[in-house]
Structure 1
Amino acid sequence: MKIGILAAGLSKRMGNINKLLIDVGGKTILEHSVINALSYSNDITVITGYERERSEDILKNYPVKVIYNPQYENGQESSLRCLLSHTQSDIIVTLADVPFLQREDFIKAEINLKDVLAARPIFNGIAGHPVALKKELVELILSSDKRVRDVIKEHPHNFYSGRRESIIDIDDPASLNAIKEHLK
């Protein structure tokens, strides 16, 4: 199954640091996320935006398709729509700043998509990643002016039990420090 990784954000809460380009254990956060996705699929698309050239320079070392979102400053919704506009199949979507996903997380997302249009892990009441979307839902999202999450809520979707790692992302310097310790 295809995987889409959103890696276009401004990292506003990190100050002047692009969190995805921080080296942890010899690889950037972006690389950790790509390598984890590659453990499941060889059909990966990464959406870039902020500091595009630096991200794309790193990504050229991996067998991934790279798409630039020229509207990345409009937020995650614009990057997700950019990704989905290049998708004609079921897809699993994740954020590049969720570096602990493993093959089993992607498998579980695909399995839980069986009878619904969207599937997402939940841990301790918090929705996590990756999010699996059926092709039919992708088409509905792209034909709607509503926010993606609102379109998903209107159609059959499934929250399933996820691992703690599905909700660990980098939002600020404190979460980055915790992730650095874990990835060492």
Structure 2
Amino acid sequence: MLKGFENSPCLNNIDLYGFFYASYKMKDLIINDQTMALKEITDLLDVRHNDAMVVVEKLSSTAQFGRTTKFSYPTPSALQPNAEITTYLLTKRQSIAVSARLNTELLLRIIDRWQQLEAQFTLQLQQEITQLKLTKPERKMTTKLKNREVGDMLTATQLLKECRSSITPQEFFAATDAMGV
């Protein structure tokens, strides 16, 4: 436990390793904004990609739209397995603005897709938080379980004894379920 934070509710059951891992992950979460490729948007809206590129180029000339990033997007087909097109990487705000310009009736498809992306991100974050709440022996045990390295451990009772902590069986199984073990 970190000195001076013994009674901190946010650091309960997190050792020094867990604290620095959490700090690292939060930095990653803050820096790593979610994005969507313009090609994915044009596929969802069923509009021509070239027309969408023109819309993005017009919108990106305004300061309010923000910076955009061009990149090569793979579009393999039977005739051209290595085919790529140039497209843009857009933030949520930008993708909604472009969608509204392209097809206002189908804008809801983009909003639904963003909700799916955010739900996946939230689930991943919840799994990482669950992992951080486990003590070091519990993390080691769940890592072994995930990697199927249980060896001579045969039952859940034996697994709980191996953890040697105050975790209840319900908490243990909830944590392993949340991590997909």
**Higher gyration radius (CA):** 2
| Same fold? TM cut 0.5 | no
| Structure (1 or 2) with the greater strand fraction | 1
| Structure (1 or 2) with the greater helix fraction | 2
Normalising by the residue count of structure 2, what TM-score does the alignment of the two structures yield? 0.20
Normalising by the residue count of structure 1, what TM-score does the alignment of the two structures yield? 0.20
